Structure 1
């Protein structure tokens, strides 16, 4: 953990952030009520597959809500509600399941740590901030906008606010994920991350039920992507590849087929399992959960026991 932290934080921030390993930017009731930033159950002992749900967290700190100008229902619009519950059947087959407890609108672990829009902050911006096009559009690791490009915050934030969230939320998620994938590769010779997400209808892509993102064949061996596609199509689902979601930072960073590390992002259409207006699961929930279980069962059967 210390080695990872030291590599992520430049010297100008280490003396503020690293000596107090258990510090938290919240205090008082928020700290007492806050769950741990990540939850993980199981271990990669039974196979190389790791399940992860980075965007289904729904703990919204009160201190964060006081900074925002949007109501909670708008802030929740990007939440992958119930995805960790959809994965329970697949998890029961043996793969470990990792989930973030905080929402992506607060800290998005599917972006590089310092992918930030400098317009969010007042004062000097450190030179190590490196925004991507999406970061500049307000969708970095600390998002500036939410649904329909609505601004999240009432005013600009101090940069240290972002640094603390990276330290206490982004980093624990990635430390845990990296450890799970390395353990899977050490035990089984390879690892396969199935990064689970939900999506609204995507008419521009023909409104598929699933979108499989493998960064256009660079983050996962085509054989495994083909297996996932054929399995889901055989179950009656409409499947697309890479459009409109090819995979974000997680898929790109952990998908290294030449190092026997594979990553496949799986987007599931929200209307299949819940009412998007009320965020209430409906009768399709069980059907989709069972489909995800079958998919993981087929993938596990592809690997010989070790």
Structure 2
């Protein structure tokens, strides 16, 4: 069920939110808002495909409304005091309910979804990070995300194009953070921020252990950089053609840090 593509690179791409599969029993409980799946990281797996870097990819096809694999299994809030969504979300990013009244998942159902979907994703991700670290002595987890650029329920104003999260510089070496931030700042037609509204989800915070030679960084792209931000969420080849070379350079720079032994 979890899609794993093994590459020959020190970088592992995490793809937790591109899936659109919703099992029929869950779909029956969702209202029209939930079935619209507006909060999908639309086309992210396509955007990062065939970049020519032979990257390992770990992706779940299950939609985040079923269970969000980028949330902690105990559902602790990643951003205390701010609006957000949980392990098995009850609302969308606009704060609107996604379930029919009385059809929300109970503790037993949440435990079932964790066993079926959350645990297998992280087992696969952990295995690939260990495999890559065994080969290179170090692994970099690059967690791929995107979100609509304007969501008043979650953040003020318009989101920057590149939102880099390193758990306030704790999830990776300084050279990893600097490499990505420098490359994004050099792309002068785009805006960027480091550890702004998005500092990294559970995946970045959990796996980012520089002292154990696993470095993690989250990239949250504003969806305006590569698609139309309204249904049917059309992938814009013209926009993607401008963005993809920058993504290539970001990931290539990270690979070079390891190949040239400059990661510190």
Which residue of 1 is the match for residue 259 of structure 2?
Answer: 304
Which residue of 2 is the match for residue 101 of structure 1?
Answer: 61
Query: What's the RMSD between the two structures over aligned residues?
Result: 2.2
Within 5 Å, give how 1:238-257 maps onto structure 2.
238-257=191-210
1:226 CA drift (Å): 0.9
Which residue of 2 is the match for residue 89 of structure 1?
Answer: 50
- Structure 2, gaps ≥5 residues long: none
- Structure 1, gaps ≥5 residues long: 1-35, 116-130
Which residue of 2 is the match for residue 42 of structure 1?
Answer: 6
1:222/1:266 CA distance change after superposition, 3 Å = same
Within 5 Å, give how 1:125-164 maps onto structure 2.
131-132=76-77, 139-154=85-100, 155=102, 156-164=104-112
1:205 CA drift (Å): 7.0
TM-score by length of 1: 0.76
Higher helix share: 1
Within 5 Å, give how 1:162-201 maps onto structure 2.
162-201=110-149
Which residue of 2 is the match for residue 57 of structure 1?
Answer: 19
Q: Give secondary structure in 1 for the equivalent of 2:19.
A: coil
Which residue of 2 is the match for residue 215 of structure 1?
Answer: 167
Out of 262, 270, 284, the residue aligned to residue 239 of structure 2 is: 284
1:189 CA drift (Å): 1.0
Aligned counterparts of 2:29 and 2:158: Cα–Cα separation in 1: 38
TM-score by length of 2: 0.87
1:292/1:208 CA distance change after superposition, 3 Å = same
How many pairs were matched up?
251
Aligned counterparts of 2:108 and 2:118: Cα–Cα separation in 1: 14
Q: Give secondary structure in 2 for the equivalent of 1:148.
A: coil
1:110 aligns with 2:87: no
Aligned counterparts of 2:143 and 2:252: Cα–Cα separation in 1: 16
1:206/1:240 CA distance change after superposition, 3 Å = farther
Structure whose alpha-carbon radius of gyration is higher: 1
Cα pair 1:53 1:84 within 8 Å, conserved: yes
After superposition, give the CA deviation of every residue in 1:1-43 in whole Å (9 maximum; x if it has no partner): xxxxxxxxxxxxxxxxxxxxxxxxxxxxxxxxxxx2x211123
